[in-house]
Amino acid sequence: MGEETLVAMPLAPHHHHHHHQARLDTPPHHLAPTPPPPPSGPIAADKGEEEGDHHRPAEGVAGEPPAQAPRSGTPPGLAAEDGDVYYARKMLQGVVLRPPPHLPQPEAPPGLARAHSTPAPHDYAAEEKEEEEQQQKRPVERSASANSAGTIVDDVVSIGRFFRDRRDVLSSAITRRISSLKESSSPPSAKAAAVVDTYGVQEIHLPNVKVTVRLKDAIAAEDDDVGYSFLGGRIKGRVSFFSRSGCRDCAAVRAFFRQSGLPYVEINLDVFPEREAELASRAGAAARVPQIFLNEKLLGGLVVLNSLRNSGEFERRVRDLAGRRCPDSAPRVPVYGFDVDEAAAGGGKGEEAAEDAMVGIVRVLRHRLPIQDRFVRVKLVKNCFSGTDMVDGIVNHLDCSRKKAVEIGKELARKHFIHHVFRENDFEDGTQNLYRFLEHDPAVPKYDNFRGSTNDGEPKPAAAVGQRMTRIMLAILEAYASDDRRHLDYSRIAASEEFRRYANLVQELQRADMTQLPAEERLLFFLNLHNAMAIHAVIRVGQPGAVDRRPFFSDFQYVVGGHPYSLAAIRNGILRANRRQPYTLAKPFGSSDRRLELAQRRANPLVHFALCDATRSSPIVRFYTTQGVEPALRHAAREFFLHGGVEIDLESRTVNLTRIIKWYSADFGKDRDILRWLLNYLDPTKAGLLTHLLNDGGPINISYMNYDWSLNV
């Protein structure tokens, strides 16, 4: 094998050499006795099937040790003492040393000998025997060695032969089995090694090997069957029903389909109002949701469904769908689209002309104004133009007076087509007043409700957009959240048509006039906008991090009414009356910020239990309607404290509170004030324990729970 074979000799001083030589007759205890190897030189390898792959000794020397000196392995020309040094050097070099020829030799590792317990096929055994006879006649070439009388077990050749033999046996068995499967069309017998299931999958069992073969016919048949499984069967048809958000009967139908494992298509008329005419044509003008359809056939509402369930007729009808594909006449699955502009249908010609005139002016000014970077107030302001440039452009385009042009400029600023680079005024004529178009703001492309260009249509009222947004998000919760709203399926939400409609809708907020939003509706609008943005942020950014939470709470932003809003800005700037965020020094809005006009006059601590930040420790996600916001906030607080928001240990006199109260302690007051306020929102058991602690005059320890930042998925 191209390496030196050395005889392993014990090292000893020269004057004790004869003692070690006398002990060589006794084999070492760790060596198993094996036949002595043949003398060095080319010999014929005798490898019979009965003896395995071990080399036999040459004839004439079998059974007796060769007559050679104990140091016969020492290279010629070296004295005994030099031989000791030689062997020591070789051992330090890592050379594999072998015992002298007259000592028992180590056996080959187990497994290298050909296993004769597994019978081979007849033709293969004959071929193997012929190959071995040729191997016996072929001389074994050995590499030159320092010990010419030693022998080498060719480990590499033996290992290769072992794996080659096993590979041939395995491939031969698999080939024969597959051939038998192709030739045989009848089901296999009980003794056969293949197992056939109802879907045409063949399983071949061999020792320590399992091969699965799927026949082409079975694969084609399975691909052709694209139905759904229900109650052990398969359904090719479609079960669909029309619904509305907040409908209890619709929720009962949805719950039944989920528990039954029956795939269904829900068409929420609050999300897809254009489908109301279709429902009226299929079920009648007086039909109320829910209305269930099996393919194109109308089944009815909840009362009919319960009646058919109790009689077993519903399952039979569903099984009838197994052999029938859904026809084109059935209610179609909601596809990508845009909301129908209902307001445009009732608008007059004058309103449409005014809208077209403003958009036309903007498009002309975008191309004619000298938009460039300017250095002002020791700052580089990008993509801006002066008030004088805009007035000149309007005068030249409309052939009007400069006073009229200034009024048009103010109207463009009010509709948020343009804004002051420092947001100081609406619009004024002059070279020192710099403005820019909304889409030219360097920060606008980063906003997550901006898609390449601003919405040039007439801005819709903010209240209408908020109501539409609430209906869509309620439908999303009903379809893709758990019953308790504590867990959301964000992957299905992101792929749903409801969320695409929401993404299209929030673009309407870019230029919405938020000052026209009634004061009593601002709290409702921003509560719902915050929770909707939290769901959108999870889809776009990911879950809020336990360490770096800025990408989720601060960097994810919408442009609303020409101004940027993040989750932190809505919570602290709008809902908390412009109070500082925890662990910060600056307030969200400056004294001249126009967003202060929308901020609440005072901080309401209940809003913290209505805001969801998509974590497991935050309150559950909710969306609120105009039917009593304050009672809904109190209910949200009670639900939060009922499900782990507070724990009271009477023995240690400790009250464990949510960490939300610690972060926003400025909204709740001091420790005793917090506990007294908390009494209004606890269940009777916890309220009784806390009342006992407050009235007995003893000290009360307040601790705060760890906040779980994991996603509420």
- CATH assignment at residue 409: 1.10.10.10
The lowest-confidence range among 241-245, 521-525, 627-631 is: 627-631
Same-domain status, 629 and 646: no
Q: Which residue has the higher pLDDT, 138 or 238?
A: 238
pLDDT exceeds 90 at position 636: yes
> Is 700 within a domain?
yes
Buried b / exposed e along 49-68 (16+ C-beta atoms within 10 A): eeeebbbbbbeeeeeeebee
**Residues 486, 581 within the same domain:** yes
Residue with the larger pLDDT of the pair 201 and 595: 595
Least confident of 178-187, 530-539, 621-630: 178-187
Strand order in the sheet with 701-704: 646-649, 654-657, 701-704
- Please give the pLDDT value at position 396: 92
pLDDT at 630: 92
Tokens in use for 516? 């026209």
Top pLDDT among 169 and 282 is at 282
Q: Are residues 562 and 592 in the same domain?
A: yes
**Is residue 626 located within the same domain as residue 522?**
yes
* Alpha-carbon gap, residue 703 to 198, rounded angstroms: 62
Say what the pLDDT of residue 144 is.
42
Q: In the predicted model, is pLDDT for residue 319 greater than 90?
A: no
Least confident span in 66-75, 372-381, 391-400: 66-75
pLDDT digit string (tens) for 119-156?
A: 444 454 555 556 555 555 554 444 444 444 344 445 66
Domain annotation covers residue 202: no
Q: How far apart are CA 62 and CA 58, in angstroms?
A: 7
pLDDT band at 473 (very low <50, low <70, confident <90, very high): very high
The pair of structure tokens assigned to 411 is 């109207």
- For the stretch 596-627, pLDDT in tens is 999 999 999 999 999 999 999 999 999 998 88
Q: Quick one: pLDDT at residue 120? A: 45
Average pLDDT over residues 97-124: 56
Question: Based on the domain organization, do 476 and 610 belong to the same domain?
Answer: yes
pLDDT score of 131: 58
- How high is the pLDDT of residue 654? 95
Q: pTM to 2 decimals?
A: 0.66
* Cβ neighbour number for residue 370 with a 10 Å cutoff: 10
Helix (H) or strand (E) segment spanning residue 492: helix 490-494
Instruction: Look at residue 349 and tell me if it is in a domain.
Output: no
Note the pLDDT of residue 110.
56
Task: Report residue 454's pLDDT band, with 50, 70 and 90 as the boundaries.
Answer: confident
Return the CATH number at 293. Answer: 3.40.30.10
Among the residue ranges 143-147, 321-325, 526-530, the one predicted with the least confidence is 143-147
Q: Using pLDDT thresholds of 50, 70 and 90, give the confidence band for residue 4.
A: very low
Picking from 599, 614, 633, the residue at the C-terminal end of a domain is: 633
> Is residue 496 located within the same domain as residue 620?
yes
Q: Please provide the average confidence, as pLDDT, over all residues in the chain.
A: 77
Q: Using only C-alpha atoms, what is the Rg of the chain?
A: 43
In this predicted structure, what is the pLDDT of residue 125?
52
Per-residue pLDDT, averaged over 625-642, amounts to 92
Tell whether 648 is covered by a domain.
yes
Given this model, what pLDDT does residue 46 score? 41
In a domain, 181, yes or no: no
Residue 251: exposed, middle, or buried by beta-carbon count in 10 A (0-12, 13-18, 19+)?
middle
Residues 633/675, Cβ–Cβ less than 8 Å: no
415 and 521 both lie in a single domain:
no
Q: What is the pLDDT of residue 446?
A: 86
Q: Classify residue 34: in a domain, yes or no.
A: no
Please report the beta strands in 354-425, taking only residues with DSSP state E, as ranges in sequence order.
372-376, 379-386, 418-420
Tokens 């929308």 map to which residue? 598
Residue 619, pLDDT score: 96
Asked if residue 587 and residue 550 are part of one domain, the reply reads: yes
471 with 271: CB under 8 angstroms? yes
At residue 248 the predicted structure's pLDDT band, cuts being 50, 70 and 90, is very high
677 pLDDT above the threshold of 70: yes
Answer yes or no: do 697 and 563 share one domain: no
Per DSSP, the three-state class of 212 is strand
Average pLDDT over residues 588-600: 92
Is 119 within a domain?
no
- pLDDT tier at 173 (50, 70, 90 boundaries)? confident
List the single range of 139-148, 247-256, 302-311, 428-437 with lowest mean pLDDT.
139-148
> Based on the domain organization, do 405 and 507 belong to the same domain?
no
pLDDT higher at 665 or 37 = 665
Decide: 381 and 375 in contact? Cβ < 8 Å: yes
Q: Which amino acid is at 14?
A: H
Residues 550 and 688 in one domain: no
Omega cis (within 30) before 619:
no
Domain assignment of residue 527, given as a range: 462-633
Average pLDDT over residues 36-62: 41
Choosing from 595, 616, 633, the residue where a domain stops is 633
Residue 419 lies in a domain: yes
Residue 7 has pLDDT above 80, yes or no: no
| pLDDT tens for each residue of 641-672 | 999 999 999 999 999 999 999 999 999 988 88
Q: What is the pLDDT of residue 98?
A: 66
Q: Select from 576, 609, 633 the last residue of a domain.
A: 633
Overall number of domains in the chain: 4
Residue 90 has a pLDDT of: 65
Residue 402 shares a structural domain with residue 508: no
For residue range 17-32, list pLDDT tens digits in order.
444 443 434 444 443 4
Lowest mean pLDDT among 186-200, 296-310, 699-713: 186-200
